[in-house]
Structure 1
Amino acid sequence: MIRLQRLVYYTLSIAFFMFISLSLLPYLKTSQTTTSTTVASSSSAAADNLSAQDAKSTLNNPKLMSNEERYLSWFPHSDFPEQQESFRNALRLALETKRTIIAPMLRINKIYTWLPFEALAKRYEAMDAKELCQRGEKDSVFWQTELEPCDTINDWIEVPWSTIMDLETIKREYGIKIIERTQGHGWGIHETAPIKEKILPEDVVVVDVMSFKENGSDWEHVDLAQEALKAARQGSLNRFTNWIQSYFATKNSKDAPLTQPLKNVFYADQLNAIDAKIIQFGALNSAARYETTTSDIQKQLRKAMMKNRFLVPDQTKQLTQQADKIVNVLGGKSHFSTLILNMTKIVAMDAKAGVLKNIDPNQELPTTVDELSDESKTELMEAIVLELFGDIPINQAVSAAMPIKSSRLSNILNSRGKIVTDPVDRLELLEACVEYHKNIEKRYPVYYFINDKKIAVESRPDIFGPLLKMFPCTFTQNDMINWGYQSDSYLNGVPHLNDPNVDYEKLFQPLLNILIAQKGYSFFELPTTPLTRFLNWTPKNK
């Protein structure tokens, strides 16, 4: 009798253990996944999103065995270099999967930084606010205009990538198909790009390893029809199982919102296993997060994009002509260098590190250079000049430190000082600098100077005095405008830039600066941003 009771006890224990295991196994499997591939449609309302599903193997998949065209897309964010990096990664992924790229347009100015998938999708869709504002809806309240107010709607624009970069060579050489989404900001089942097929919910998979820890993330919306069908199949005995799983899912959903991208990796076999018609990526600016194979064609594409493909924003003729005019004034290709100081970041970093002196401990830390005392401004710029000397090419540093040889340049500096402010005198200074660099001391640096506050160096000797004393041959956009070498209407006649309320020349200045910097001998940025990496890829034969 006792043996029979033990047998029953053991049997029930094993049955209970198996029941609990089967109940928790689906959740545990899901939580171990390091990436998220979620079937989704538009995120303008979370209710549009459908349930998560894992990417299945493509082996023997009749859908992929057909000639049906498949696509991939992403959401843009940040400045030009990171948007360009996202497109570069899309090219790699498209080549890997033989998918057609649906390319969002390039956003210029008033950018937003990285965001988790749902927030990034919403910010992208909010750019429809431009159409709402132009339609006269300025006094109406829409969620789009809350994110993109009508008051600042002309402070940013979108342009097709093909008007800035050479896409045709990439398409021809590597067989990558590219469709540009130039109308609207719909994606997924609401795709507004010119594709012929009707997109169904099951055709779209979301992949964003920088946002999702696992399948079934907080962003996922449950498909009620699928859940009802599942419940009918499983029967009432699974209610306890569902309760256990929902407990863990609820606990997981209370995780704090992401403030930094996750560092997961999506591997090539995972990518190739996705059988959906459209893969919608979130942010795509990190090459390390999305792996592709090391095939010969992938190696060729990577090499080309680091040497001479998809690197120069020279497809707008008027922009290129304006850049060439300024380059010629500065002495021509490789006869000048570019210096960029991000003053706001420098001040914030030094103030936080406690490097700046004469800071009142009872007041908030300064955020702009104008908040510093004159002594602190001088101290800051002297530190910048010292760092500049340590990082620029050694031949330029040595030449700048040596006395200027007898020349027209030495006569100007001896008679007028190293800080020349009058526009006419500064033009004469530029001519003397170019002459000295070309004919007397080829190592002597001539700088095209850019700063985030757009301050003319000669107008603020209290800030830039130490810089000009060490590098008197430093010139800016303000100089080019004063001398008539840069026009305030050089983009007139560009077909897609025809809104009289938009200052296109102001918005395109960062791209103009890039074209100028790409023709220089060297480039220095402090502190560095993704722009430094982008310019380091500049083709040397351009």
Structure 2
Amino acid sequence: NERYLAYLPHSGFHNQRITLENALLLANYLNRTLLVPPVFLGPATEWREFDILLRRILLQTKRGLDHCGRIGKGDPLPAECLNYYSWTTVEWDFFYDMEKINEVQPWKYRPDHSFAWMEANLGIDRNKDVHIVYDQAHYDYQIYDNPNSTYPLDKNRYLRKLELKELSDRTERVLHMGSLFATGRVRAELPEHKAFQDYLRRSMILSTPVLTKTSNAIVDKLGGLGTFVGLHLRVGDGMFVLPAPENIENMFKSLVNITGITPIPNYQALPASTAGDSAAAGDRNNNRPERLDVAQCRARKSEGGRYTTIYIATDGVYPRRNILFRKLFDHFPCIFTLDDFSDLLDELKDKKNYDGVGLSKDLIPMVDAVVSAKGSHFFGTPKSTFSTYVSKQLHPAF
């Protein structure tokens, strides 16, 4: 008579992580075992209404494509294998200690989203044992755990309030939600629920061995845990492109506040065409910007100020050549990015999944996240789920 909660994942890694947290919260409130799907790594599947999203997820399969992984490098791929290497899936315990979570909230791995899988593995009848909560919009409802809550519904995001009792009254063995994405989608107002949410956030800390090993090696080179300032600057896509200059300027002001430096008077960055790293860049603001390597920065660590070591995690391409970052590099000679530690990434770059698909494109941003979280301070990009994860979970944990 075990009862289950199921949901449909979508979007990128951090959105799937937020969805998993919400699903674990809701399963805990309802005293149901959570059916946990794998993490999808690849081009993001966008939200759609329940039936459409379910069909898209069911079509994301490599069943019958084992031969694709055995085709030699450089050999032509048959039509059915053209997208084989563009995506893969891993179980959540690849990233997190899911057994620790299972001690408090039961969960069961769900490798297949079909109702046929449920019937074969859970002993349910899809026609009478499943209740689906359909969502008609990306942010259809927000789930309230406190029946006496005075917290107003954010009508700029959600269409309606969904009370927990409406879900707890369902007697079907499987309660199937659609999307559960969005920070705060499942509220945790009651003390016991807030305590469980805090437990989850302490538990969902990236712990993949290759991530831990690589990030520790980079942190050691920077000077050790808590000896530098971590930044996350998302500038390369979507809604983060236009506000990038303002976000970087605000981050610069934060660095000025904690380091106590005096900004260069009447500072102006040179155009990108002349703002390279080489001597050909010429003088900038009458002084060639100082550039120090890691060893030199560690030697001057006690001076602080402009010699404060700073690590930037970013999706920006070639940050040292990017005009957006120029003001930061010109004021602080001890800024480093992942590009400066490429010699430490070999093991990570060689990491492959069971299907032969490389994992480096997904793991490299996670190394960035972990390294930036191990600084004494962390400053992130507004509205970034990456930054929120680092500031609220990783940085406090480390």
Normalised by the size of structure 1, how large is the TM-score?
A: 0.58
- What letter is aligned with 1:76? P
Match of 1:191 in 2: 118
Match of 1:28 in 2: none
1:105 and 1:159 in contact (8 A); partners too: yes
Shift in alpha-carbon separation, 1:389–1:331, aligned structure 2, 3 A: same
Match of 1:179 in 2: 108
- What letter is aligned with 1:266? L
Distance in 1 between residues matched to 2:170 and 2:241, nearest whole Å: 45
Q: Does residue 324 of structure 1 match 2:216?
A: yes
1:419 and 1:472 in contact (8 A); partners too: yes
CA RMSD of aligned residues (A): 3.5
Shift in alpha-carbon separation, 1:330–1:320, aligned structure 2, 3 A: same
> Cα distance, 1:115 vs. partner?
2.6
Pairwise mapping of residues 380-399 of structure 1 onto structure 2 (< 5 A)?
385-392=248-255, 394-396=257-259, 398-399=260-261
Deviations along 1:104-128, whole A, 9 cap, x unmatched? 1112232133332223212221211
Q: Does residue 154 of structure 1 match 2:81?
A: no
> Cα distance, 1:275 vs. partner?
0.9
Q: Does residue 485 of structure 1 match 2:344?
A: yes
Match of 2:166 in 1: 270
Shift in alpha-carbon separation, 1:297–1:328, aligned structure 2, 3 A: same
> Cα distance, 1:291 vs. partner?
5.0
Deviations along 1:172-201, whole A, 9 cap, x unmatched? 2x2x2111123xx33334438x83414332
Pairwise mapping of residues 12-161 of structure 1 onto structure 2 (< 5 A)?
68-128=1-61, 130-135=62-67, 150-161=81-92
Match of 2:200 in 1: 305
- What letter is aligned with 2:107? I
Distance in 1 between residues matched to 2:258 and 2:138, nearest whole Å: 49
- What letter is aligned with 1:485? L
Match of 2:177 in 1: 281
2:188 and 2:194 in contact (8 A); partners too: no
Distance in 2 between residues matched to 1:212 and 1:476, nearest whole Å: 35
2:5 and 2:176 in contact (8 A); partners too: yes
Q: Secondary structure at the match of 1:389?
A: helix
Distance in 1 between residues matched to 2:295 and 2:225, nearest whole Å: 16
> Cα distance, 1:284 vs. partner?
0.8
Q: Does residue 203 of structure 1 match 2:120?
A: no
Deviations along 1:488-537, whole A, 9 cap, x unmatched? x3376x7x82444x332223112222222221223333453112221222
Deviations along 1:442-470, whole A, 9 cap, x unmatched? 785422223324x2233x26554333112
Q: Secondary structure at the match of 1:338?
A: strand
Pairwise mapping of residues 248-263 of structure 1 onto structure 2 (< 5 A)?
262-263=158-159
2:5 and 2:27 in contact (8 A); partners too: yes
- Structure with max Cα Rg: 1
Distance in 2 between residues matched to 1:101 and 1:156, nearest whole Å: 25
Q: Secondary structure at the match of 2:233?
A: strand
Q: Does residue 471 of structure 1 match 2:365?
A: no
Q: Does residue 341 of structure 1 match 2:234?
A: yes
> Cα distance, 1:278 vs. partner?
0.8
Deviations along 1:13-38, whole A, 9 cap, x unmatched? xxxxxxxxxxxxxxxxxxxxxxxxxx
Uncovered stretches (5+) of structure 1, i.e. residues with no partner: 1-67, 215-259, 351-379, 404-412, 421-427
Pairwise mapping of residues 518-537 of structure 1 onto structure 2 (< 5 A)?
518-537=373-392
- What letter is aligned with 2:106? K
- What letter is aligned with 1:179? K
Uncovered stretches (5+) of structure 2, i.e. residues with no partner: 70-76, 141-155, 266-282
1:338 and 1:449 in contact (8 A); partners too: yes
> Cα distance, 1:385 vs. partner?
4.4
Shift in alpha-carbon separation, 1:159–1:325, aligned structure 2, 3 A: same
> Cα distance, 1:431 vs. partner?
1.7
- What letter is aligned with 1:418? P
Distance in 2 between residues matched to 1:448 and 1:213, nearest whole Å: 35
Distance in 2 between residues matched to 1:111 and 1:276, nearest whole Å: 31
Identity %: 20
Deviations along 1:203-245, whole A, 9 cap, x unmatched? 111114454999xxxxxxxxxxxxxxxxxxxxxxxxxxxxxxx
2:96 and 2:206 in contact (8 A); partners too: yes
Shift in alpha-carbon separation, 1:85–1:472, aligned structure 2, 3 A: same
Shift in alpha-carbon separation, 1:272–1:392, aligned structure 2, 3 A: farther
Distance in 2 between residues matched to 1:267 and 1:85, nearest whole Å: 20
Distance in 1 between residues matched to 2:239 and 2:334, nearest whole Å: 23
1:108 and 1:157 in contact (8 A); partners too: yes
Distance in 1 between residues matched to 2:138 and 2:251, nearest whole Å: 41
More helix by percentage: 1
2:6 and 2:175 in contact (8 A); partners too: yes
Name which of 426, 447, 456 aligns with 2:318.
456
Shift in alpha-carbon separation, 1:159–1:419, aligned structure 2, 3 A: farther
Distance in 2 between residues matched to 1:205 and 1:102, nearest whole Å: 14
Aligned length: 355
